[in-house]
Amino acid sequence: MQEKLLFEYAVIRVVPRVERQEFFNVGVIMYCAAAGFLQTKYELNKKKIAAFCEEIDIDDLQKRLLVFEQICKADKSAGPIAALPLAGRFRWLTAVRSTIVQTSPVHPGLSDDLETTLDKLFETLVL
């Protein structure tokens, strides 16, 4: 039996009007130090976004989420944050911020298959 790995995750949220603190979930970011794992999975449901807030610039939102993905992959085009060690990138991505894209508090879990766990979290918390 494979040993379970400790991981951490946060839900990626879109907060159209920060002052109202209303949000909806669009993705998940997951980190496991022991496996050197840092990935994000997201989906923008344009109908849901438009129903929630008509003023959102979908292209801008897509770019912001792409940067999350690029930072996870240590893609240098994402800037200096992408050059941080894995843990530093996760902590930066999940830091409290007052922007249209925010994350939930970080939660721990155990997994014997990180990819499958990420998929399950995404399905449960986003779709």
pLDDT score for 48: 86
pTM: 0.94
pLDDT score for 17: 85
Query: In angstroms, how far is the first alpha carbon of the chain from the final one?
Result: 31
pLDDT score for 1: 65
Beta bridge partners of 11: 28
SS3 (DSSP) at 4: coil
Contacts of 47 (CB under 8 A, 6+ apart): none
Tokens at 110, concatenated: 């155990």
Spell out, as residue ranges, where the chain has pLDDT lower than 70. Answer: 1
Are 112 and 2 a contacting pair, CB within 8 Å?
yes
pLDDT score for 22: 87
What is the C-alpha separation between 103 and 33, in angstroms, rounded?
19
What is the C-alpha separation between 57 and 85, in angstroms, rounded?
31
Which residue in this structure is represented by tokens 């200096």? 80
Phi and psi angles of residue 90, each rounded to the nearest 5 degrees, phi first: -65, -45
Are 18 and 99 a contacting pair, CB within 8 Å?
yes
pLDDT score for 104: 97
Beta bridge partners of 24: 14
